Amino acid sequence: MVQLHIMVSGKVQGVGYRYFAQMKAVQYGIKGWVRNSDDNSVEIVAVGEQEQVDQFVKVLREGNPFSKVTNVEISQLEESSSFQSFKIKY
């Protein structure tokens, strides 16, 4: 299991990106959360098997049809959180 902290920049707020991320997380069996950040980026914590997390990050880079992802910053977190699902934080 890997746990990543992901910051997605670009046109990612007001375009359904958090819902897109949640849908893809469920599709790939990823646990964690997503929320809008004050700097107009989207912040994600993703926990899952390496292969599923890699696929999840790949689709996050592509975004949904309404978003325009310009940058994705990823850092590895020490696996300490145990999430039951993938939630949108407000």
- For 11-71, the DSSP string reads E-SSSSHHHHHHHHHHHHT-EEEEEE-TTS-EEEEEEE-HHHHHHHHHHHHH--TT-EEEE
pTM of the entire predicted model: 0.95
pLDDT at 50 over 90: yes
Residue from 36, 40, 64, 71 carrying the catalytic annotation: 36
- pLDDT for residue 81: 72
Residue from 18, 40, 64, 71 carrying the catalytic annotation: 18
- pLDDT for residue 82: 83
- Annotated catalytic residue 36: yes
pLDDT at 64 over 80: yes
pLDDT at 79 over 90: no
Q: Give me the CATH number covering residue 44.
A: 3.30.70.100
The tally of domains found in the chain comes to: 1
Determine what percent of the chain is predicted with pLDDT higher than 90.
93
- Annotated catalytic residue 18: yes
| Domain enclosing residue 56, as ranges | 2-88
